[in-house]
Structure 1
Amino acid sequence: MKMIKSIDLKYGILFGVVGFALTLLGMYYATGTVDPRFSAVIGAGFFGGGFLGSVMRRLYREEKEREANFIFLALMLIAGIPLIARYAYDILTGNWKIWKLISIFAFTYLICYGIFRITKSRGVKI
């Protein structure tokens, strides 16, 4: 894979700074206090999302959809497996809510969709 282009990093930094500022401002108006730890987590999420989104967009433009689909699947596995395990435990112990059940089905669908996209990518023979 090629080196990461500077435009991808610039998009990520832009989304990170904007996310940090909006979260800090919104939290100040909601609570009247300023705690930068929470905003830093949201800003890092915006940075990661903006950065990886621009990397995936570039990979799709360069017709490297298999690599972009692997990134999508990796993100869904990293976020989905711990959430599925925790919510399944909560449901099995009787502490269930409908949104936990919907989240389990949504992440299961997204993981299966990522696997499907990888198998249907160009250059993959089954």
Structure 2
Amino acid sequence: MIRIKEGLSKEDKKMLNKVFLRSFTIFASWNQVRASGLSFEYAMLPVINRYYKTKEERTEAMKRSVDYFNINSALSTFLLGITASMEKENSENDDFDTYSINAVKASLMGPLSGIGDSFFGERLE
């Protein structure tokens, strides 16, 4: 069995709990332009504030996270976790490609929504 929180500091565990609790608001600010992008950013703020030290770095991370986001809410935490991990790597590694963060996010939205909708979605019969 894989223990995801093994080896995490107390501060990291607290940050991930904040992200999880904020994920319940994923459809709170849905709109036609960015879908749930603003709510995704709200959920990612603990990660951004923890890993980025300067205002410029935080602004760039916030711009990345506010982009279009539309996914089944039951699986949104999976994508939040992947994005949080990539943001941490970006903050520690100068050679990290920041475009890959949104590329991974965009490429997983569709398949995860399909899986989530088939398990948790409404049945139209």
| TM-score for both structures, normalised by structure 1 | 0.30
**Larger helix percent:** 1
Larger Rg: 1
What TM-score comes out, normalization by structure 2 length?
Answer: 0.31
